[in-house]
Chains A and B, each alone.
Chain A
Amino acid sequence: MNPVSDLKYFLEVSITTFVSFNLLYVIWIFFIISSETASGFNGSIMYVPHAARVITICYFGIAAIPALFAAHVFCTFVIGDAYGLNNLLLIDLLGTSFLSTICVFIALYAMAGLGFKLKTLPFYKFTKDSIYLDLRNHKHIIMVTVFSAAVHSLSLYVYNSLRAISSNPEMFIRFFVGDILGTLVTIFTLSFMIFAFFRER
């Protein structure tokens, strides 16, 4: 391991992760939240930034975690606060951000327990019987999305109940559906954009 190349790689991954999450958060807050806050906010039905979590953790591994956590805190504390979305205490803000950051990580390890392993993640051994998740296959990414949305919504629901923030089951459902829909919309939009702008005719 070369510390200089490690640092270079870490910075590349961190900047990409931070910028992509912020970008998706801003898009989400501009285009989606304005139509949802009218009837009270119980979790977005299409949470676009979840795509940044799934994609960065899947493709960059644990190197993306610090930047993702920083992006969560920054977006909620600075941008979300400006739109009146942040009514959490600092400790809860950090707690929910931490859970949101590691939800994909936990989901991937849960999937590894079921036999679907991802080569970009360390800490477990690969055997000949392991089924590898193929990062070139969008169906595998969608599977990770569904698992991570389940982990995310469940962990946040438990956290919110324990901390007496909210125990509304609607929030759990909306988080689950919103994460899946948001990720799908982002991935498909990016795919169509690549087709529209970069495909040679």
Chain B
Amino acid sequence: MAEWSIALPWKGSIWATVSRVRIPVSPPFEFFTFFVQNIDIKGNKMPDFKKQLTTFVQMLRNIEDEFKLHSLTPNEQAVFYTILKSNDVCNISKIVDESGLSRSTVYKILRKLEDSNLIEAFQSESDKRESIVSLKV
């Protein structure tokens, strides 16, 4: 009687050669590598920390653009700050002197600021040729 309960019935049923296909041993679990397997914005396999931060800052700048936080050009800002500095009212000659811009540029900028509802201009009572500018805010 065979020692094993499921003994092979005849010797020929034993394979002469075993399969050469071997299942490889699974690689060791690497904690850091597992968590760094993401793909960056451009589809590269290795993510770049600095690029990811740059993308974040870019997103924040897009909010700026969306809300038009920097809609005033540097020249417009110069004119606006000149008016802001003069406590109450300010005439155009003073803005030209202090901002260092040409008179025509200042006129163009004042018209734009007036359209944006930031300033108001009215005629001077003492000198009818001069315009007085004040902030509307």
Interface set of A (CB-CB < 8 Å, partner B): 1, 3, 5-7, 9-10, 12-13, 16, 55, 59-63, 65-66, 119-122, 135-138, 141, 187-188, 190-192, 194-195, 199, 201
A119 to B43 alpha-carbon distance, docked (Å):
7
Distance of B60 from chain A, by nearest CB (Å): 4
A137 to B65 alpha-carbon distance, docked (Å):
11
Distance of B29 from chain A, by nearest CB (Å): 13
Contacts of B66 in A (CB 8 A): 138
Across the interface, A1 reaches (CB within 8 A) one of B33, B58, B77, namely: B33
> What's the tally of chain B residues with a CB closer than 8 Å to chain A?
32
Inter-subunit contact A194/B60 (CB<8 Å)? yes
Interface check B137, CB cutoff 8 A: no
Please report whether the interface of chain B is mostly helix, strand, loop or mixed according to DSSP. Answer: helix
A61 to B41 alpha-carbon distance, docked (Å):
11
| Apart from A55-B56, A65-B35, A195-B70: 18 A-B pairs, beta carbons within 8 A | A3-B30, A6-B36, A9-B49, A10-B32, A59-B53, A59-B56, A62-B37, A63-B38, A66-B35, A120-B39, A136-B59, A187-B63, A190-B60, A191-B61, A191-B63, A191-B64, A192-B69, A199-B70
Distance of A20 from chain B, by nearest CB (Å): 11
Contacts of A60 in B (CB 8 A): 38, 47, 49, 52
Looking across the interface, which residue of chain B has its beta carbon closest to that of A123? Answer: B37
Can you list 19 pairs linking A and B with CB atoms under 8 Å apart? A1-B46, A3-B32, A7-B32, A9-B49, A16-B49, A55-B56, A61-B38, A62-B35, A62-B37, A62-B38, A120-B39, A120-B40, A135-B56, A136-B59, A138-B62, A194-B64, A195-B64, A195-B69, A199-B64
Distance of A81 from chain B, by nearest CB (Å): 28
A10 to B47 alpha-carbon distance, docked (Å):
10
A16 to B36 alpha-carbon distance, docked (Å):
15
Inter-subunit contact B47/A191 (CB<8 Å)? no
Contacts of B60 in A (CB 8 A): 138, 187, 190-191, 194
Number of A-B contacts (CB under 8 A): 94
Interface set of B (CB-CB < 8 Å, partner A): 30, 32-33, 35-41, 43, 45-47, 49, 52-53, 55-64, 66, 69-70, 74, 77
A1 to B60 alpha-carbon distance, docked (Å):
31
A138 to B77 alpha-carbon distance, docked (Å):
27
Distance of A26 from chain B, by nearest CB (Å): 21
A141 to B55 alpha-carbon distance, docked (Å):
12
Inter-subunit contact A63/B35 (CB<8 Å)? yes
Contacts of A65 in B (CB 8 A): 35
Distance of B130 from chain A, by nearest CB (Å): 30
A194 to B63 alpha-carbon distance, docked (Å):
10
Inter-subunit contact A122/B41 (CB<8 Å)? no
